[in-house]
Amino acid sequence: MSMDEQRVCRAPRGSVLNTKGWVQEAALRMLLNNLDPEVAEHPEQLVVYGGIGKAARNWESYDAIVRSLKALEDNETLLIQSGKPVAVFRTHCDAPRVLLANSNLVPAWANWSTFYELDQKGLMMYGQMTAGSWIYIGTQGIVQGTYETFAECARQHFGGSLQGTVTLSAGLGGMGGAQPLAVTMNGGVFIGIDVDRTRIEKRIQSRYCDVLAESLDEALALAEAARDAGQALSVGLLGNAAEVLPVMLSRGFVPDILTDQTSAHDPLNGYVPEGFTVAAAKQLRTQDPQGYIQLARKSIARHVEAMLELMQRGAVTFDYGNNIRQVAYDEGVKQAFDFPGFVPAYIRPQFCEGKGPFRWVALSGDPEDIYKTDAAILKAFPDNEGLQRWITLAQEKISFQGLPARICWLGYGERAKFGRIINDMVASGELSAPIVIGRDHLDAGSVASPNRETEAMCDGSDAVSDWPLLNALVNTAAGASWVSLHHGGGVGMGYSQHAGMVVVADGTKEAEARLERVLTSDPGMGVVRHADAGYPLAVETAKAQGIVMPMLAD
Ligand code: NAD
């Protein structure tokens, strides 16, 4: 093991600055927090989550970023090119302190083989979504979205609750690890297959998953008993999805709900082919990457074929944003797109109101700061039942990873209102240090991803990627603290372009103005993108909120 692999990153806590201002400090703490072993999946490789989603290109770049952030003045901006700091320019106080561009390739070259080649040469890194934009908060970041997705699925198909149902999925990694908790929070039983024992153990340790089963027999016995008793239970089943699903089929077991969150978007690094242990897969990956990719793609095809058959037999089946359908389709599974993606199936109406995963992090490191913001949000939105239920459940069920953080889905108008409340709480000293406010790139108006967020848009504009570019530009103009433009997140190279933003509430008047601008224009882009496409709810929202859209018909 090299020196680098032994490093342990942890964000500084408290209210003493290690930098020349709170915005720089926030960027420093969030970079370190992304790589905290409590937060990141493989911190020794700088990998935060989602296959090989990284926070910095290599340890040399990481050191240079840390040095640069410590030296950065309040009127300078640091530029990051795929995880490497490349320049510092004089800008101005209201400009972002950091601008990041990760994994972007010219469209005709935008594929995994070009990326792998450049990655090997040390010229790029894969930024995923919040890994390379320094606003990953551990699995909680995805829990609410996952919870809402299963809740909507329950409303559409099971009378509003998952009680008495079994959900089957695979992949208990950084994002997928939210599934067991999200299903049990909805009252259901969950079986999650993962080939890597350490991933299941990590979920059990962090209380996201209840038990580990060594065999399919054990998993089914546990799941069926809990289902029949109407109890919620989550089971992590050690196994390979491409092997287990066909066996389930042969036994005649049909789950009520079926999905998948292996990192199938990246066949080389994210999917273990059938017949391989994690260790053997690792070896083949380095010895024969092309051979590995072929085997992984074949297994993915078998996996999707089994999903299609289970769907035929009655399982409510959907793609959970990992591009598994596309990989299978390219391998000859022509029916792969017969099951829908989760966005058109369950999420799009929320996007029409500018809603999406909004998150905030206590830079103090003090959980009390988050509990105080929980109380504030409950008070600010007393009529939002879903939000009230979520915050209460989150307090009870979610362990913080790294810096204490919270997530919830807020829309246009609500985000600006809550941003101001938080800034006031910092200003009054009620909170012990500033708060970082950001969001996922999986969001209403900051992503173009035709197999996921923009799948089946009503005007056919799925592949138009002007929107994330405009989102990054308007957030920069509005004075976000850091802004990032990425390619390939979620679904892999060639399939998505998306932008991130983070804005710091440090209690100052300047921050108040920036928060108001950014937290209005950012969710506003979500409303505008969907209103422009013609979704009636988005059109209504734009009109009701007075968003100016020059060509929106009266
Ligand atoms: P991850 O790489 O941290 O975890 C993937 C997991 O899949 C690992 O634990 C791995 O052991 C397991 N796995 C790989 N091959 C397997 C196989 N054949 N059988 C069983 N288990 C296998 O990734 P993550 O962060 O959890 O993300 C998972 C996927 O979801 C990615 O494709 C990601 O892009 C996508 N994603 C979804 C959302 C969403 O909202 N649903 C959001 C972001 C990302």
263 CB near ligand 1 (under 6 Å): yes
Question: Can you give the pTM of this predicted structure?
Answer: 0.91
Indicate if 228 and 240 belong to the same structural domain: yes
Indicate if 335 and 370 belong to the same structural domain: no
Indicate if 313 and 210 belong to the same structural domain: yes
pLDDT greater than 90 at residue 397: no
Indicate if 111 and 146 belong to the same structural domain: no
Indicate if 393 and 253 belong to the same structural domain: no
Q: Is residue 31 part of a domain?
A: no
For residues 313 and 163, give the distance between their C-alpha atoms in angstroms, rounded to a whole number: 20
Percentage of residues in the chain having pLDDT higher than 70: 99
- Quote the crossing angle between the two packed helices 367-380 and 414-427, to the nearest 10°: 130
Q: Is residue 410 part of a domain?
A: yes
Indicate if 421 and 534 belong to the same structural domain: yes
pLDDT greater than 90 at residue 144: no
Q: Is residue 504 part of a domain?
A: yes
Q: Using the 3D structure, point to which of 339, 365, 400 is the last residue of a domain.
A: 339
Residue 139: per-residue pLDDT: 82
Q: Using the 3D structure, point to which of 305, 339, 373 is the last residue of a domain.
A: 339
Structure tokens given for 103: 């994994």
Average pLDDT of span 536-548: 97
pLDDT tens column, 75-85: 999 999 999 99
pLDDT tens column, 185-214: 999 999 999 999 999 999 999 889 999 999
Average pLDDT of span 239-245: 98
Average pLDDT, the chain: 96
Average pLDDT of span 238-249: 98
**CATH code for position 73:** 3.40.1770.10
Indicate if 323 and 356 belong to the same structural domain: no
Q: Is residue 16 part of a domain?
A: no
Q: Is residue 124 part of a domain?
A: yes
Out of 93, 153, 408, 458, the active site residue is: 408
Q: Is residue 274 part of a domain?
A: yes
pLDDT tens column, 475-510: 999 999 999 999 999 999 999 999 999 999 999 999
Whether 408 sits among the annotated catalytic residues: the reply is yes
Indicate if 535 and 495 belong to the same structural domain: yes
Q: Which of 129, 175, 202, 257 to mutate to test the pocket of ligand 1 (most atoms within 8 A of CB)?
A: 175
Indicate if 183 and 313 belong to the same structural domain: yes
Dist. CA 51 → ligand 1 center (Å): 7
Average pLDDT of span 248-273: 97
Structure tokens given for 6: 């032994």
Average pLDDT of span 101-129: 98
pLDDT greater than 80 at residue 264: yes
490 CB near ligand 1 (under 6 Å): yes
Q: Which residues pair with 261 in a beta bridge?
A: none
pLDDT category of residue 2 using cuts at 50, 70 and 90: low
Write the residue with the smallest CA distance to atom 8 of ligand 1. Answer: 173
Side-chain-side CA neighbours of residue 244 (13 Å) = 27
Nearest atom (ligand 1) to Cα of 320: 41
Residue 130: partners with Cβ closer than 8 Å, 6 or more residues away: 34, 48, 136, 137, 141, 438, 440, 441, 500
Dist. CA 84 → ligand 1 center (Å): 25
For residues 65 and 132, give the distance between their C-alpha atoms in angstroms, rounded to a whole number: 12
The residue written with tokens 């004075």 in the block is: 479
Residue 26: per-residue pLDDT: 98
Indicate if 322 and 195 belong to the same structural domain: yes
Q: Is residue 29 part of a domain?
A: no
For residues 66 and 43, give the distance between their C-alpha atoms in angstroms, rounded to a whole number: 16
Residue 109: partners with Cβ closer than 8 Å, 6 or more residues away: none
**CATH code for position 246:** 3.40.50.10730
Dist. CA 322 → ligand 1 center (Å): 7
Average pLDDT of span 133-159: 91
Binding site listing for NAD(+): 50-51, 128, 174-176, 194, 199, 240-241, 261-265, 271-272, 320, 490
pLDDT greater than 60 at residue 1: no
Q: Is residue 13 part of a domain?
A: no
Q: Kindly provide the ipTM of the predicted complex, given to two decimals.
A: 0.98
Contact 416, 200 (CB under 8 A): no
Q: Using the 3D structure, point to which of 296, 316, 339 is the last residue of a domain.
A: 339
| Parent domain of 149 | 140-339
pLDDT tens column, 330-349: 999 999 999 999 999 999 99
**CA distances from residue 307 to 159, 297, 328, 415 in whole angstroms, order as listed:** 23, 15, 11, 38
Indicate if 364 and 506 belong to the same structural domain: yes
Indicate if 278 and 357 belong to the same structural domain: no
Dist. CA 41 → ligand 1 center (Å): 11
User: Domain tally for the chain?
Assistant: 2
